[in-house]
Chain A
Amino acid sequence: MELEEMKTLWSEMSQEIEKQQRLTDKLIIDMTQERYTSKFSKIQMYESIGALVCFSIAFFIIANLGKLDTWYLMTFGGIAVAFLILMPILVLRSINRIKRLNIATNSYKETIIGFTRAKKELLSTQRFGIYLSFVIVLVIMPVTSKILNNKDFFIMDHGVRLWILVPILFLFLFFFSRWGYGCYKSITNSAENILNELED
């Protein structure tokens, strides 16, 4: 098939499509309304669940700050609270940036650039969160140990349980992060290629 043939064929197909218009007024309105509703509930769900869990834990720690009676437990508690509040805000902000892209006024090129950059930012934020979660696990263990059991993690007798639980936890985090990183990397690479192409 030659290019000119493609163009002719496309034009013939377009003429046929024009003859077959099937959308009714009701269908157009229903379709739009459904999409609007589904989008609204989806945004509501995504934005609330993750943030709610993190904020609840942060609130729990803040409410029990009085139990953290040493300078290092207070520091660990502060770091955990900061992470649990800031991380969801950063992710939500990145998601919001993608959503806010003005496709009505932006050109095709601007949308690709805007979307790709916003996506890269979102992926970097999520990747940053995954790596930081390794540190946060270590930070949050002494905090929860003190709040829930009133025991100082650094001077208590841990027994065998800790030596089994911690490696399992880290193993899980390692594989989860590796999987997550793999996904993010491939998406980011393709985003990078598109940007490079635009700079040609």
Chain B
Amino acid sequence: MHRKKEFIDIIKQHEGIIYKVSKVYANDKEDQKDLYQEIVYQLWKSVDSFKGKAKISTWIYRIALNTSITFLNQQKRKSRQVAVDFELLDGIDDQDSIMEERIQTLYTHIKGLNIIEKGLILLFLEGKSYDEIALVTGFTNTNVGTRLGRIKQKLKDQIKK
């Protein structure tokens, strides 16, 4: 395996991003695990092509979001589970059930968005600037702003219901 050590370090340092993207795009725990594995696999496949021109997190967001689009659209996951099993994080501290509940509500609102909106809101919530979001998504800055405006309105309407 190429650049094995570097790859392992990248994954360990950014496993939080992979976790959050999987959780936003997948509907249940099994899908989430499967998507998580797929993102790790795609990162492994692409690690050689990472030239270091962009920030490593930008590169990871890009691959994670792109993998989520293609993977969840084309797979019937039940037929392609792989043998390696692992525990995904259950979320935050189990004792803080109020926070856990609020996080679940947050995910429910995000899951109500379409495939494009999910990616944009995730990057927005991650505190990324419009420039960074544009870099990851390929939309122009203006377009990112317009879309995020619409998404925020959509979320507000959703929350009011």
Contacts and interface: CB of A to CB of B under 8 A. Distances in A.
Q: Do A and B bind each other?
A: yes
Interface stretch (A31-39, A128-136, A154-162, A175-183): A31-39
A98 B70 contact: yes
Interface string A79-119: 00000000000000000001001011111111110010001
Contacts of B89: 17, 20, 22
B141 interface: no
Contacts of B16: 14, 17-18, 21
A35 B106 contact: no
A103 B46 contact: yes
Contacts of A32: 1, 40-41, 44
A10 B126 contact: yes
B138 A28 contact: no
Contacts of A98: 70, 74
A111 B72 CA distance: 13
Contacts, number: 154
Q: Which interface class (under 10, 10 to 19, 20 to 34, 35 or more) fits A? A: 35 or more
Interface string A147-189: 0000000000000000000000000000000000000000000
Contacts of B155: 3, 6
Contacts of B99: 9, 12-13
B56 interface: no
Nearest to A27: B86
Interface residues of chain B: helix, strand, loop or mixed (majority): helix
Contact of B15 (A6, A23, A36, A38): A23
Interface residues of B, number: 62
Contact of B127 (A7, A16, A22, A31): A7
B40 A28 contact: yes
A198 interface: yes
A30 interface: yes
20 contacts: A1-B109, A9-B99, A9-B103, A12-B92, A17-B16, A17-B20, A20-B89, A22-B87, A29-B8, A31-B37, A31-B86, A32-B1, A32-B41, A35-B40, A35-B82, A37-B82, A42-B80, A104-B45, A108-B137, A111-B66
Interface of A: 1-3, 6-7, 9-14, 16-18, 20-23, 25, 27-32, 34-39, 42, 98, 101, 103-112, 115, 119, 194, 197-198
Interface of B: 1, 4, 7-8, 11-12, 15-16, 19-20, 37-38, 40-42, 44-46, 49-50, 59, 62-63, 65-67, 69-70, 73-74, 80, 82-84, 86-87, 89, 91-93, 99, 102-103, 105-106, 109, 114-116, 119, 124-127, 136-139, 152, 155-156, 159
